[in-house]
Structure 1
């Protein structure tokens, strides 16, 4: 059972980190459209809108910000892009929006750090 306990602990940590990220984004004026969005081959932690900007946000929680930033791999970036494509294909109302791929880093005893436009298309 140690593997199951570790997965449960990681899942709970991820939920806490996402909640912290959502509150940070809300405080910065973002409207949260979706959490844990998964459609087709893609998945993204948070989708948020502010004005005419649509952000697909990956949330990473690690022991420090450096480790968290390094945890956003090219493979994950591709998964987020696929989710964005799927989201936009089914929601034409967002066709004219500026799309960004953001990252929110979460570390213990620190305020979350929002990195707008962390990686491109």
Structure 2
């Protein structure tokens, strides 16, 4: 059977448009990793132990999970050109998913859901500066 070919009259995505989109996606992914690395170093400098990175739970992914003594800190990292733009990228739906995943993570902790926890929002601006909003959401 001959290989399938695209119909000549079917719309074809522009190769340059598709490659530009792929490049933006790659840059965004790498930028996100760099932002998470910066935030992890920030927490470590302040005495926290990073327990997990990009942990996936039933609600979705938690960017960083740090331990400060007996407290677990669940960190959502947002990077953008400015702090205000980064804050605007956090949605109510993301907050709900992070809280649901944090509950699952604590389910395996020695104190279970009685574990002391905090939800931080870590913002990384276009110059790479890290801004932490402690207890930004959740019941912590």
TM-score for the superposition, normalised by structure 1: 0.92
Answering whether residue 110 of structure 2 is matched by residue 93 of structure 1, we say yes
Tell me the residue number matched to 2:37: 19
Secondary structure at the counterpart of residue 67 of structure 2: strand
Answering whether residue 74 of structure 2 is matched by residue 56 of structure 1, we say yes
Shift of 1:25: 0.6
Structure 1: gaps of 5 or more residues: none
TM-score for the superposition, normalised by structure 2: 0.80
Answering whether residue 122 of structure 2 is matched by residue 104 of structure 1, we say yes
Judge conservation of contact 2:57–2:102 (CA < 8 Å) in 1. no
Shift of 1:111: 2.4
Flag the structure with larger Rg.
2
Structure with higher RCO (Cα < 8 A, 6+ apart): 1
Structure ranking higher in strand proportion: 1
Secondary structure at the counterpart of residue 118 of structure 1: coil
Structure 2: gaps of 5 or more residues: 1-18
Judge conservation of contact 1:42–1:81 (CA < 8 Å) in 2. no
What pairs with 1:63-102 in structure 2 (closer than 5 Å)? 63-89=81-107, 91-95=108-112, 96-102=114-120
| Equivalent pairs, count | 120
Cα RMSD of the aligned pairs, angstroms, is: 1.3
Structure 1 distance, partners of 2:72, 2:109, is: 13
Shift of 1:115: 1.1
